[in-house]
Structure 1
Amino acid sequence: MDTLKVVQQRRIIWYIKSEVVLLRFFFQSILLFFYRIIRNTLFNHFYFISLIYLHKVTSMKNFYKELLTKVSICLLCVYCSVTNQTLAQTTTINYQVDYSDFPNPERGFYKHYETTDFTSDNVSPQLDLAQLMVARGDNKTLALRLFYLNKFKNTAIAASYLNGIQNDMNTARQAGVKLILRFAYNSTNQTMRHSDDASLAIVLQHIAQLKPIFQANADVIAAIQASFIGTWGEWYFTHPDFTNPDNSPNYINRKRVVDSLLSAVPTSRMIQIRTPYYKQNMYGNGSTGSAAAINPILSYNGSPVARLGHHNDCFLASSTDFGTYLNITEDKNYLEAETKYLVMGGETCVVNSPRSDCINLGGDADTELARFHWSFLNADYRAEVLDRWSSPGTCMNNIRLGLGYRFEMISGTFANSVELGKLLQFQIRLKNVGFASAFNARKVILILRNTSNNNEYSIPLNDIDPRRWEPFQSVFDEVDIYRNIAIPGDFKQGIYSMWLQLADPYLSLTSDPLYAIRMANTNMWEAATGYNNLQHQITLLCPNQLSLTSTKDDYSTGTKSLVANKSIIGQNTISGGKVSYSARNFVELKPIFEVKQGAVFETSFDGCQN
């Protein structure tokens, strides 16, 4: 016998509805019908059309955002009137801003470490755990790791060297930092020494060897630079395989390297290209300026254009940043539009006053870091440039706080109580005051912690993507999160504090607080867990009745105990584990209720009461 069916004779209950109730139902149905038409046609159409126009007509940005906001508010009002769902009996908390500097993953100043082998005579043989932890204590959660492969220009990478790379990954994970990876074959800048670089065939062979390391350690890789070519891996002064006879770049072979990297690196990770025109020549759409940039609709979809970001290793060094820009105006417009959705970072390389100075000294430093959405910057190079930013009254503190994302909670409105099995309603308002969006995905989780015994329930908010929280420019850039979250019927009644976790999506790091995002608010961060305290308590109440359906209340594993004050109606499936129903008046099991073989089902009449 495959299944055991537990059936109680169905009760037939007739409800006599008044004409007033029927009339109300009729008009609500009409409203709901028109609301769904508006939502599914006009709203969706307007939203995607707006994205296209916002991408192409930047001067109309605020107009479209304002119009879209007003339409959204109107639709929300219609929704509330139809469903009669309002935030009754709520509490609103206004959060206070924290202006201090603190560490957050995948942003800020980074430390630079390089190695040619993993022996003791090298400047930086293996990553040192103590050094990384000291750097993290100074709010640096990133390190750029440059691996020189000059010993392997004509052969495969030795197993001992690959083991050394893996050891570095392990050390980074232990220290709570992430790595920006770069590979190069030489550090000379003489144009005629092409033999110092590896051929296309060797580069492709090495990428294939590195693929298992990339795949196994994506959790601690922040980004990978499309290096391997040229001095320092920056695509200059390279092997003839990557240069045409007229000394122009051979984009066909260079694209083969990038394509190989895109295939070897997990799709969750971006690859940085050294200059805007490199990406445009290999993956461009034929346009120039902002029109050539990635369409917002395609962002984060895993395609090559959505994974190829940018780095600038001569930031502010000249009017062209030492060749970073060919057409300065067009390339800058392109980079500004691209980096809204793609990783951007790099380093300075020479003092070029006043351009390399802060804005209050007539320079462009803080202005261009914000314009091009920089997430990280070398903390060590070039010291003379960074020192000028650190002089009294200049911009270093703003840059420290501004690099990458910085999320400030504005307010939260939460229900004070909710019955088990019902919807928890809340609204959160926040803004991103950093230079950039988060460029890697995050897992957003609502945590309910019992104030009596500290037991926790985790509720994933899978439809929220912090990468979409763009840098704040006006009130229309504020992030408003409205949610109705179903509270499972098997949660325990009681008083719970509410927390928000922005965790790393990789299972190896999800519960590690060193890799969780901290909100820039006072009295919010819990360092031991990586949670942000929403500063509200909610009471989970025992329901009068639970109605369990096969679409949302099927159980297959674990132990579940569902209780109600009066009654439980079961029309679901229990395919595994141990499940118990308890209600004070009755437990009714519909004919479609089913307990599969191997599962354990119990019922009692203890129930619960608030």
Structure 2
Amino acid sequence: TLALCGLTLGQPAEPAAPELTTRAYRGLRPTDPAGRDGLANPERGLRNEVMLGWGLNGAPLRHIVGVGEATPEGWLTEIEHYRGWGLTMVQWYYYLDQWIDQPISAEGLARLQAGFDLLRAHGYKAVLRFAYQKHMTVADGAVIEANEEWLMHHVDQLAPLLAANVDVIGVLQAGFVGAWGEWHSSPNGHHTNHPFLSRLVTRLLEVLPPERHIHVRVPKYKRWVMENQPAGWTGLLTAAGAYQNTASARIGYKNDGFMAGPTHGGTWPEAPLQGQPGNPEFDQVTLESPWLFNDGELFYADQAGPVDGLEALTTLRLHHYTTLSLSHSYSEREGAPYTVDRWLSEPLDPERVTAAKLPHSPEYFRDIFGAPVERTVFEYLRDHLGYRLELTSATYPTRAARGQALPVSIDLVNRGFATLHNPREVVFCLVGPDNRVWEFPVSVSPRDWQPYAPGDPEYTPLTHTVSTTLQLPADLPAGWYRLGLWLPDGSGRLRARADYAVRLANGDTFWWVDEPRAHGINLFAGLAVE
């Protein structure tokens, strides 16, 4: 066979390898369009609070002052009030006190389903908790809870609804027992019955699909649960055991007394260190939290005193908080200024943030001219709860041929306090001249995108590289294409919902949503296909 100039006669020429370019990207500036608004991303951030059940219309314990009375859908009005702060999560209490000694009625189950439908219709997810008691003591109005038999029967009744609606359940809190489902102050004494608590959580882990986590109020509760299971306490969760269908990997924490005094409202009563490093109970959360969906809330009305802003931020980072309540210690609900109000006005500059080794983009405190812009503790907290993904660089070709293999590589930094915990796809997309979308899934899990290496005392930001080769279809129409990253919801039901896709915290990428609102794609480059 005769070869000439690198070609073999009788065979088509191989297309030349595409020439690659590398581009750097920046984070959001406060002076970018909507740069001081909250970035509405799913399954993270500040959360509202609603209460549903027999005789409850969705109202939180305390209304937003001036917003008006709640209707059965009134909680939507209240959460929309905070749309500019990027809220996508709702703490949802569903009270079962009407059915203490009988099955949950068909109407009660239908009301629960209607709540799930509302969440889905409006683009939200729930931090879900079931409970019987709305008060601390019987004298204050607390009811006697369902006995063990009825309580477990209620769990079995709820099981089909949990499975059918897991797409809008961000996390399930263990609940059911004690005041507000916090596993204390149970008139029946359920909170002291460790074998029963273990059976309850074991059953919840069975009925809740395995990709979701469950919260307990205090770290030792997790040990109680596991010590009464056949496998027993298997030690602290590590990266090797993360995101498996085990009690260790699926039981996280909800601190319902966040920063409420030295014990965090009873979360860490162990003297002398209490809520500080060195207390094994505190350190349990520090060591396990990189791989668990963790949530918290302040006490109402600063009952344990005001909360220092910078101390709150460093604790949120240390324990990898994904969500935090906006319904406590805030004048909009309580009529007087408390901690959240102070955070809203407390200035925060990059020097304080850097000294505290808190994550932030270089542009977060700069305007378009590079001049410093002062932020507030509240802004920073709002923006860095959970994950905050920023594209820092991309390597890609600017020209390609149909049928050609297209190498693409991107670098991401997670500037948030936590990683993404629920399953989510990573998909590169090409958007054609007619806005048709070509999808190229990548076998990568965003759960691995930690903000810093667990245990790193310097909290050094990690760079996460995603590299792949996109095989262009041979019949791909020629023209100008935009290249982007799509991070859709992991459930088939919500995959084609742009409002459930993740938006990058960049000022020089473009958030593109197609006309059916199926794709929410972070466009970062363009290329010509010939």
Normalising to structure 2: TM-score of the pair? 0.78
**Retained in 1: the 8 A contact 2:431–2:482?**
yes
**Retained in 1: the 8 A contact 2:428–2:486?**
yes
Cα distance in 1 for partners of 2:261, 2:148 equals 32
Pick from 384, 398, 401 the counterpart of residue 402 of structure 1: 384
2:65 maps to what in 1?
Answer: none
Q: 1:385/1:466 Cα in 2 relative to 1: closer, same or farther (>3 Å)?
A: same
1:393 partner letter: P
State the Cα RMSD in Å: 2.8
4+ runs deviating over 6 angstroms: 119-123, 191-194, 352-355
* Superposition map of 1:599-610 within 5 A: none
**Retained in 2: the 8 A contact 1:132–1:172?**
no
* Superposition map of 1:591-606 within 5 A: none
Q: Which has the larger radius of gyration?
A: 1
Q: 1:422/1:285 Cα in 2 relative to 1: closer, same or farther (>3 Å)?
A: farther
Cα distance in 1 for partners of 2:44, 2:489 equals 14
2:180 partner letter: W
- CA displacement at 1:314 relative to structure 2: 0.5
Pick from 242, 252, 261 the counterpart of residue 318 of structure 1: 261
Q: Which moved more, 1:401-410 or 1:412-421?
A: 412-421
Q: 1:307/1:525 Cα in 2 relative to 1: closer, same or farther (>3 Å)?
A: farther
1:91 maps to what in 2?
Answer: 21
Q: 1:365/1:480 Cα in 2 relative to 1: closer, same or farther (>3 Å)?
A: same
2:436 partner letter: N
- CA displacement at 1:281 relative to structure 2: 2.3
Unaligned runs of 5+ in 2: 4-15, 30-34, 61-69, 331-337, 349-376, 453-457
1:232 aligns with 2:213: no
1:306 maps to what in 2?
Answer: 249
- CA displacement at 1:434 relative to structure 2: 0.5
**Retained in 2: the 8 A contact 1:114–1:145?**
yes
Pick from 423, 427, 439 the counterpart of residue 405 of structure 2: 423
- Determine helix, strand or coil for the equivalent of 2:380: helix
Cα distance in 1 for partners of 2:242, 2:186 equals 32
Cα distance in 1 for partners of 2:150, 2:189 equals 11
- Determine helix, strand or coil for the equivalent of 1:183: strand
**Deviations 1:429-474, CA, capped at 9 Å, x for gaps:** 11001111111111111111123x222211111x111111111466
1:346 maps to what in 2?
Answer: 296
- CA displacement at 1:206 relative to structure 2: 0.7
Q: 1:165/1:525 Cα in 2 relative to 1: closer, same or farther (>3 Å)?
A: farther
1:508 maps to what in 2?
Answer: 493
Cα distance in 2 for partners of 1:217, 1:166 equals 8
Q: Which moved more, 1:207-216 or 1:471-480?
A: 471-480
**Retained in 1: the 8 A contact 2:201–2:225?**
no
Pick from 417, 422, 436 the counterpart of residue 455 of structure 1: 436
Q: 1:531/1:147 Cα in 2 relative to 1: closer, same or farther (>3 Å)?
A: closer
Cα distance in 2 for partners of 1:95, 1:209 equals 50
* Superposition map of 1:425-504 within 5 A: 425-451=407-433, 453-461=434-442, 463-472=443-452, 477-504=462-489
- CA displacement at 1:254 relative to structure 2: 0.2
**Retained in 1: the 8 A contact 2:217–2:267?**
yes
**Deviations 1:174-201, CA, capped at 9 Å, x for gaps:** 1111111111111221289986222111
**Retained in 2: the 8 A contact 1:406–1:520?**
yes
Going by fraction, where is helix more abundant, 1 or 2? 1
- CA displacement at 1:490 relative to structure 2: 4.0
1:105 maps to what in 2?
Answer: 42
1:330 maps to what in 2?
Answer: 280
- CA displacement at 1:521 relative to structure 2: 0.4
Cα distance in 2 for partners of 1:127, 1:180 equals 17
1:82 maps to what in 2?
Answer: none
2:208 partner letter: V
Cα distance in 1 for partners of 2:512, 2:402 equals 30
- CA displacement at 1:391 relative to structure 2: 2.7
- CA displacement at 1:299 relative to structure 2: 0.9
Q: 1:336/1:374 Cα in 2 relative to 1: closer, same or farther (>3 Å)?
A: same
- Determine helix, strand or coil for the equivalent of 2:291: coil
Pick from 124, 127, 137 the counterpart of residue 177 of structure 1: 124
Alignment size in residue pairs: 445
- CA displacement at 1:121 relative to structure 2: 11
**Retained in 1: the 8 A contact 2:136–2:142?**
no
Q: 1:525/1:210 Cα in 2 relative to 1: closer, same or farther (>3 Å)?
A: farther
1:356 aligns with 2:302: no
- Determine helix, strand or coil for the equivalent of 1:445: strand
* Superposition map of 1:93-242 within 5 A: 93-99=23-29, 100=35, 101-117=38-54, 126-128=72-74, 129-190=76-137, 196-240=144-188, 242=190
Cα distance in 1 for partners of 2:257, 2:460 equals 34
* Superposition map of 1:521-600 within 5 A: 521-526=506-511, 528-529=513-514, 530-541=519-530
Cα distance in 2 for partners of 1:184, 1:165 equals 13
Cα distance in 2 for partners of 1:309, 1:506 equals 21
Bigger RCO of structures 1 and 2 (CA < 8 A, at least 6 apart): 2
- Determine helix, strand or coil for the equivalent of 1:315: coil
2:307 partner letter: S
Cα distance in 1 for partners of 2:41, 2:414 equals 14
**Retained in 1: the 8 A contact 2:499–2:520?**
no
Cα distance in 2 for partners of 1:252, 1:269 equals 23
**Deviations 1:61-106, CA, capped at 9 Å, x for gaps:** xxxxxxxxxxxxxxxxxxxxxxxxx986111121121143321111
Q: 1:127/1:424 Cα in 2 relative to 1: closer, same or farther (>3 Å)?
A: same
**Deviations 1:102-135, CA, capped at 9 Å, x for gaps:** 2111111111111342566987663334444444
Cα distance in 1 for partners of 2:71, 2:151 equals 22
1:386 aligns with 2:340: yes
1:539 partner letter: A
**Retained in 1: the 8 A contact 2:26–2:392?**
yes
